[in-house]
Amino acid sequence: MLPDSTLVGRARQARTKILQMAFGASEGHVPSSLSVVEAIVASYSFFDFDSPGTDIFVLSKGHGCLALYAELFLRGTLSQQELDLLCKRDGMLGGHPDSTKVPGVSASTGSLGHGLPFAAGLAYAMKELQGNASRVFCIIGDGELNEGSNWEALLLASQHQLDNLTVWIDYNGSGDRAISLEPLATKIDSFGCEVREVNGHDYSEIRSAFSATPSGKPTVLVAKSVKGFGVPFMENNPAWHHTVLDLESLERALEELR
């Protein structure tokens, strides 16, 4: 994993791209994407998602895809031209990721509750059918955890001892207005998973969680995060959930970006 200072710089670049993409397309779930920037930047640094036959990244909260597109751009997988065509008829990038079109996207998500069981199936296949050392890393949202299929998937992941599966719960509290998940860590633990609570924007905590010794169980990182992190006027402001970024907002966001 790269040094924290490098990752901080990369996250800032990613956030800039997210804002520019959303402005250019007049589309995108910006705060949800900003929420998972550190998760994506850190995981791409820690795991090997680039080489075929190695680790696999699954973004289950598909509406956070601008963060993934930004990382894929910074890695050279996607071009600026492709970013410019975000949500356009001739483009490959949409408001949710499409595995049939986008290099680096392993699952077409957007409908919540699909990505984690999909990732569990992949992890099972890698470990038990192919017998290789591939790891699967899956990001889900906390609101997404309302979907029962995730809890079904945790049962499966635990039953099959998928210690090659790491689940990142982007716990930004966006689901609290409907259903409180607390005590989330206790609930996950009771399913037979290895639970680690981290600050989802703190690289030292993330590094430590990623590097912990495998326990023979699936790992679930309950990552406390801030929806809209890095752009103060968007942070924890539900009005920005799926709001078009106009020029004035873009300029203000870039100016205030931290």
Instruction: Tell me whether the omega of the peptide bond preceding residue 97 falls within 30 degrees of 0, making it cis.
Output: no
Task: Mark residues 149-188: x for contact with other proteins by CB under 8 A, - for none.
Answer: x--xx-xx--x-----------------------------
CB contact at 8 A, 59 and 107 = yes
Work out whether 81 is an interface residue with other proteins (CB under 8 A): no
Work out whether 130 is an interface residue with other proteins (CB under 8 A): yes
Q: Rounded to an integer, what distance in angstroms lies between the CA atom of residue 250 and that of residue 240?
A: 12
Nearer to other proteins, 41 or 162 (CB): 162
Work out whether 52 is an interface residue with other proteins (CB under 8 A): no
β-sheet bridge partners, residue 223? 170, 198
Nearer to other proteins, 62 or 228 (CB): 62
Q: Rounded to an integer, what distance in angstroms lies between the CA atom of residue 121 and that of residue 203?
A: 29
# binding residues, other proteins (CB under 8 A): 30
- Residues numbered 105 to 124 that lie near other proteins (CB under 8 A) are 106-108, 111, 113-124
Environment class of residue 16 by beta-carbon count within 10 Å: exposed (0-12), middle (13-18) or buried (19+)? Answer: middle
Nearer to other proteins, 33 or 158 (CB): 158
Work out whether 100 is an interface residue with other proteins (CB under 8 A): yes
Which residue, 141, 198, 194, is CA-closest to 166? 194
Give the residues lining the site for other proteins (CB under 8 A): 99-100, 106-108, 111, 113-126, 128-130, 148-149, 152-153, 155-156, 159
